[in-house]
Amino acid sequence: MTASDDDPPLPLKEALAIVRLPSEGQSRRFMGTRKAYLPGSDYTPDKGTPRMHRAAFGGHVYAQAALAVARTWRELEDERGTRPGERLHLHTIHGYFTRAGIPTRPFIYRVTPLTSSRTFSTLSVTAHQPSQPSTSPHGDDHFPAADASLPASSPAFTAICSLKLPEPDSAGVSAQEEPPQRRFAAILASRPPDAWPPAPPLDIDGVVDFVGPDQPGRFPVAVMRKVDMRAYNAGRPVHARRELLLYKLLLPPSAPSSGAAGGGSGAAGKEEEEGEEEDEDAEANLHVAAHAYVADRNGLLMAANHLGLGRSLGRAASLSYSFVMHVAAREAVLRERDGWWIQEASFPRAAAGRGIVESKIWSPRGVHVATEYQDGLIQGMSLEGAGRTRL
Give the range of the structural domain holding residue 210, as residue numbers without chain letter: 12-169+178-384
CB 158 within 8 A of CB 125: yes
Q: Which residues of 292-308 are buried (b: 16+ CB within 10 A; e: fewer)?
A: bbbbbbbbbbbbbbbee
Would you say residue 3 has pLDDT above 70? no
Q: With bands split at pLDDT 50, 70 and 90, how would you rate the model's confidence at 272?
A: very low
Residue among 3, 16, 22 at smallest CA distance from 148: 22
The per-residue pLDDT for 138 is 80
Residue 5 counted as domain residue = no
CB 349 within 8 A of CB 304: no
Burial class (CB in 10 A: 0-12, 13-18, 19+), 167: exposed
CB 126 within 8 A of CB 24: no
Residue 105 counted as domain residue = yes
Residue 254 counted as domain residue = yes
Lowest model confidence (mean pLDDT) among 85-94, 266-275, 373-382:
266-275
The per-residue pLDDT for 5 is 54
Residue 225 counted as domain residue = yes
Element (H, E) at 343: strand 341-346
Burial class (CB in 10 A: 0-12, 13-18, 19+), 175: exposed
> The dihedral of CA 367, 358, 70, 62: what is its sign?
positive
Rounded CA gap, 124 and 88, in Å? 16
The per-residue pLDDT for 44 is 74
What percentage of the chain exceeds 90 in pLDDT? 80
CA atoms within 13 A on the CB side of 352: 4
Residue 335: other Cβ atoms inside 10 A: 12
CB 290 within 8 A of CB 334: yes
The per-residue pLDDT for 1 is 39
Residue 390 counted as domain residue = no
Rounded CA gap, 202 and 323, in Å? 22
pLDDT digits (tens, 9 = 90+) for 277-309: 668 999 999 999 999 999 999 999 999 999 999
Rounded CA gap, 217 and 40, in Å? 8
CA atoms within 13 A on the CB side of 299: 33
Residue 157 phi/psi, 5-degree rounding, is: -160, 140
Would you say residue 340 has pLDDT above 90? yes
Would you say residue 270 has pLDDT above 70? no
Residue 2 counted as domain residue = no
Lowest model confidence (mean pLDDT) among 59-73, 254-268, 275-289:
254-268
Residue 121 phi/psi, 5-degree rounding, is: -140, 160
Would you say residue 372 has pLDDT above 80? yes
290 SS3 class: helix
Strand stretches in 140-273, DSSP E? 157-164, 222-226, 243-249
Residue 85 counted as domain residue = yes
CATH label of the domain that carries residue 112:
2.40.160.210
Q: With bands split at pLDDT 50, 70 and 90, how would you rate the model's confidence at 50?
A: low
Structural domain tally of the chain? 1
Rounded CA gap, 386 and 253, in Å? 43
Would you say residue 352 has pLDDT above 50? yes
The per-residue pLDDT for 273 is 45
> The dihedral of CA 136, 138, 143, 146: what is its sign?
negative
Residue 94 phi/psi, 5-degree rounding, is: -120, 105
Burial class (CB in 10 A: 0-12, 13-18, 19+), 116: middle
pLDDT digits (tens, 9 = 90+) for 77-118: 999 999 999 999 999 999 999 999 999 999 999 999 999 999
CA atoms within 13 A on the CB side of 272: 5
The gap from C-alpha 386 to its chain's centroid, in whole angstroms, comes to 29
Rounded CA gap, 17 and 36, in Å? 11
Q: With bands split at pLDDT 50, 70 and 90, how would you rate the model's confidence at 354?
A: very high
Lowest model confidence (mean pLDDT) among 51-65, 149-163, 363-377:
51-65
> The dihedral of CA 290, 285, 146, 390: what is its sign?
positive
CB 381 within 8 A of CB 314: yes
CB 1 within 8 A of CB 139: yes
The gap from C-alpha 352 to its chain's centroid, in whole angstroms, comes to 26
Lowest model confidence (mean pLDDT) among 151-160, 193-202, 273-282:
273-282
The per-residue pLDDT for 121 is 99
pLDDT digits (tens, 9 = 90+) for 199-252: 999 999 999 999 988 888 999 999 999 999 999 999 999 999 999 999 999 974
Would you say residue 149 has pLDDT above 90? yes
CB 106 within 8 A of CB 143: yes
218 SS3 class: coil
Would you say residue 383 has pLDDT above 70? no
Residue 30 counted as domain residue = yes
Mean per-residue pLDDT of the chain: 90
Q: With bands split at pLDDT 50, 70 and 90, how would you rate the model's confidence at 47?
A: low
Q: With bands split at pLDDT 50, 70 and 90, how would you rate the model's confidence at 31?
A: very high
Rounded CA gap, 225 and 219, in Å? 12
pLDDT digits (tens, 9 = 90+) for 118-137: 999 999 999 999 999 999 98
